[in-house]
A and B are shown apart, each in its own frame.
Chain A
Amino acid sequence: MIAPRVSVVVFPGTWSERDFAHAAGVLGWEARLVWHAETDLGAPDAVVLPGGFAHGDHLRTGAIARFSPVMRAVEAFAADGGPVLGSCNGFQVLCEAGMLPGVLLRNDHLEFRCDWQWLRVDAPTGPWLGGLAAGDLLRLPISHGEGRYHADEATLDALEAADRVALRYVTADGTVSAEANPNGSARGIAGVTNERGNVLGLMPHPERAAEREIGGIDGLRMLRSLERWLADQPAVAERRL
Chain B
Amino acid sequence: MTIAIPAERHGLTEDEYRAIVARLGREPNDVELGMFGAMWSEHCAYKHSRALLSGLPTSGSRVLVGPGENAGALDIGHGLAVVFKAESHNHPSAVEPYQGAATGVGGIIRDIFTMGARPLALGNSLRFGPFEADGQTDGATATRNRYLFDGVVAGIAGYGNCIGIPDVAGEVVFDAGYSGNPLVNALCLGVARHDEITLARAGGAGNALLLVGATTGRDGIQGASFASATLGEAAEREERRPAVQVGNPFLEKLLMEACLELAGSDAVVAMQDLGAAGLTCALAEVSARGGVGAEVDLDLVPRREGGMAPYEVLLSESQERMLIVVRAGRESEVQSVFERYDLHAVRIGQVIEEPVVRCSARGERVCDVPGAALADEAPRYVLPAVPPADLDALRSVDLEPLATRQPSVDVLLELLGSPNLCSRRSIWRRYDHMNGTNTLVGPGAGDAALLRIKGTPMAIALTLDGPSPARLGALDPRLAAASAVLEAATNVAAAGARPIGITNCLNLGSPESPAGYWRLSEVVAGLADACDALHIPIVSGNVSLYNETPDGPIPPTPVVGMVGLLDDRSTAVGMVWTAGDELWLIGEPADDGQALAGSELAWRRGVHGGAPRLDLDTGARTVELVSALARDGLLRAAHDVSGGGPAVALARMAIAANSGATAVLGGSSAAWFGERAGRVLVAASADAAGEVTARAAGTGVPAWRIGAAGGPSLMLDGLEVGVADLRLAWERPL
Stretch at the interface among B28-36, B437-445, B543-551: B437-445
Report whether B434 and A143 are in contact in the complex, using a CB–CB cutoff of 8 Å. Answer: yes
Report whether A112 and B161 are in contact in the complex, using a CB–CB cutoff of 8 Å. Answer: yes
Docked complex Cα distance between A205 and B164 (Å): 14
Q: Which residues of B contact A205 (CB under 8 A)?
A: 434
Q: Does A208 make an interface contact (CB < 8 A)?
A: yes
8 residue pairs of the A-B complex, CB under 8 angstroms, read: A19-B437, A22-B437, A55-B250, A112-B431, A114-B428, A114-B432, A143-B435, A214-B440
Report whether A213 and B452 are in contact in the complex, using a CB–CB cutoff of 8 Å. Answer: yes
Report whether A53 and B437 are in contact in the complex, using a CB–CB cutoff of 8 Å. Answer: no
Report whether B438 and A214 are in contact in the complex, using a CB–CB cutoff of 8 Å. Answer: yes
Q: Which residues of A contact B431 (CB under 8 A)?
A: 112, 114
Q: How far is the CB of B365 from chain A (nearest CB, A)?
A: 39
Q: Does B433 make an interface contact (CB < 8 A)?
A: yes
Report whether A207 and B437 are in contact in the complex, using a CB–CB cutoff of 8 Å. Answer: yes
Q: A56-B162, A143-B161 are in contact. Are A114 and B440 (CB under 8 A)?
A: no
**Residues of chain B at the chain A interface (Cβ within 8 Å):** 157-158, 161-164, 248-251, 253-254, 340-342, 428-440, 452, 454, 569
Stretch at the interface among A10-18, A96-104, A150-158, A183-191: A10-18
A204-223: contact bitstring with B at CB < 8 Å (1 yes, 0 no)? 01011011011100000000
Q: How far is the CB of B703 from chain A (nearest CB, A)?
A: 30
* Chain A contacts with B in 1-30, Cβ cutoff 8 A: 12-13, 15-16, 18-19, 22-23
Q: How far is the CB of A215 from chain B (nearest CB, A)?
A: 8
**Residues of chain A at the chain B interface (Cβ within 8 Å):** 12-13, 15-16, 18-19, 22-23, 35, 37, 52-53, 55-58, 111-115, 141, 143, 145, 205, 207-208, 210-211, 213-215
Instruction: Determine the residue in chain B with the shortest Cβ distance to A143.
Output: B432
Instruction: Determine the residue in chain A with the shortest Cβ distance to B251.
Output: A56
Report whether B452 and A112 are in contact in the complex, using a CB–CB cutoff of 8 Å. Answer: no
Q: Is the interface of A mostly helix, strand, loop or mixed?
A: mixed
Please give me the 10 A-B residue pairs with the lowest Cβ-Cβ distance, nearest first. A56-B250, A15-B164, A143-B432, A114-B432, A19-B437, A53-B162, A112-B430, A141-B434, A115-B429, A112-B157
Report whether B437 and A114 are in contact in the complex, using a CB–CB cutoff of 8 Å. Answer: no
Docked complex Cα distance between A162 and B86 (Å): 53
Residue from A16, A56, A114 within 8 A of B430 (CB atoms): A114
Docked complex Cα distance between A37 and B341 (Å): 10
Q: Which residues of A contact B157 (CB under 8 A)?
A: 111-112
Report whether A18 and B436 are in contact in the complex, using a CB–CB cutoff of 8 Å. Answer: yes
Report whether A12 and B342 are in contact in the complex, using a CB–CB cutoff of 8 Å. Answer: yes
Q: A12-B254, A53-B250, A56-B162 are in contact. Are A23 and B437 (CB under 8 A)?
A: yes
Beyond contacts A19-B435, A113-B429, A205-B434: 6 other A-B pairs, Cβ-Cβ < 8 A, are A22-B437, A23-B437, A112-B157, A213-B440, A213-B452, A214-B452
Instruction: Determine the residue in chain B with the shortest Cβ distance to A12.
Output: B254
Q: Which residues of A contact B454 (CB under 8 A)?
A: 22
Q: Which residues of A contact B163 (CB under 8 A)?
A: 15
Docked complex Cα distance between A111 and B429 (Å): 9
Docked complex Cα distance between A35 and B253 (Å): 15
Q: Which residues of A contact B435 (CB under 8 A)?
A: 15-16, 19, 143
Docked complex Cα distance between A160 and B340 (Å): 43
Q: Which residues of B contact A55 (CB under 8 A)?
A: 250
Most chain A beta carbons < 10 A, residue from B163, B164, B428, B439: B164
Q: Which residues of A contact B440 (CB under 8 A)?
A: 213-214
Report whether A214 and B250 are in contact in the complex, using a CB–CB cutoff of 8 Å. Answer: no
Q: How far is the CB of A203 from chain B (nearest CB, A)?
A: 13
Docked complex Cα distance between A15 and B569 (Å): 25
Report whether A214 and B434 are in contact in the complex, using a CB–CB cutoff of 8 Å. Answer: yes
Q: How far is the CB of A216 from chain B (nearest CB, A)?
A: 11
Instruction: Determine the residue in chain B with the shortest Cβ distance to A182.
Output: B429
Q: Which residues of B contact A207 (CB under 8 A)?
A: 437
Docked complex Cα distance between A18 and B260 (Å): 14
Most chain A beta carbons < 10 A, residue from B162, B432, B433, B436: B432
Residue from B248, B251, B430 within 8 A of A113 (CB atoms): B430
Report whether A214 and B437 are in contact in the complex, using a CB–CB cutoff of 8 Å. Answer: yes
Docked complex Cα distance between A115 and B432 (Å): 8
Q: Which residues of B contact A52 (CB under 8 A)?
A: 164
Q: Which residues of B contact A143 (CB under 8 A)?
A: 161, 432, 434-435
Q: How far is the CB of B564 from chain A (nearest CB, A)?
A: 17
Residue from A12, A19, A211 within 8 A of B341 (CB atoms): A12
Docked complex Cα distance between A213 and B342 (Å): 38
Q: Which residues of A contact B250 (CB under 8 A)?
A: 12-13, 53, 55-58
Report whether A13 and B161 are in contact in the complex, using a CB–CB cutoff of 8 Å. Answer: no
Instruction: Determine the residue in chain A with the shortest Cβ distance to B437.
Output: A19
Docked complex Cα distance between A114 and B432 (Å): 5
Instruction: Determine the residue in chain A with the shortest Cβ distance to B438.
Output: A214
Report whether A19 and B436 are in contact in the complex, using a CB–CB cutoff of 8 Å. Answer: yes
Docked complex Cα distance between A113 and B438 (Å): 19
Q: Which residues of B contact A19 (CB under 8 A)?
A: 435-437
Q: Which residues of B contact A57 (CB under 8 A)?
A: 162, 250
Docked complex Cα distance between A114 and B442 (Å): 11
Q: Which residues of B contact A145 (CB under 8 A)?
A: 161
Instruction: Determine the residue in chain A with the shortest Cβ distance to B428.
Output: A114
Docked complex Cα distance between A114 and B433 (Å): 7
Report whether A208 and B434 are in contact in the complex, using a CB–CB cutoff of 8 Å. Answer: yes
Report whether A114 and B452 are in contact in the complex, using a CB–CB cutoff of 8 Å. Answer: no
Q: Which residues of A contact B439 (CB under 8 A)?
A: 214
Q: Which residues of A contact B341 (CB under 8 A)?
A: 12
Report whether A111 and B437 are in contact in the complex, using a CB–CB cutoff of 8 Å. Answer: no
Instruction: Determine the residue in chain B with the shortest Cβ distance to A22.
Output: B437
Docked complex Cα distance between A215 and B248 (Å): 32
Instruction: Determine the residue in chain A with the shortest Cβ distance to B158.
Output: A112
Docked complex Cα distance between A129 and B452 (Å): 29
Docked complex Cα distance between A66 and B379 (Å): 56
Q: How far is the CB of B509 from chain A (nearest CB, A)?
A: 34
Docked complex Cα distance between A53 and B254 (Å): 11
Q: Which residues of A contact B161 (CB under 8 A)?
A: 112, 114, 143, 145
Q: Which residues of B contact A208 (CB under 8 A)?
A: 434, 437
Report whether B436 and A111 are in contact in the complex, using a CB–CB cutoff of 8 Å. Answer: no
Q: Which residues of A contact B452 (CB under 8 A)?
A: 213-214
Residue from A13, A58, A111, A213 within 8 A of B253 (CB atoms): A13
Q: How far is the CB of B626 from chain A (nearest CB, A)?
A: 22
Report whether A112 and B432 are in contact in the complex, using a CB–CB cutoff of 8 Å. Answer: yes
Instruction: Determine the residue in chain A with the shortest Cβ distance to B164.
Output: A15
Q: Which residues of B contact A215 (CB under 8 A)?
A: 434
Q: How far is the CB of A107 from chain B (nearest CB, A)?
A: 10
Docked complex Cα distance between A40 and B253 (Å): 25
Instruction: Determine the residue in chain A with the shortest Cβ distance to B440.
Output: A213
Q: How far is the CB of A184 from chain B (nearest CB, A)?
A: 16
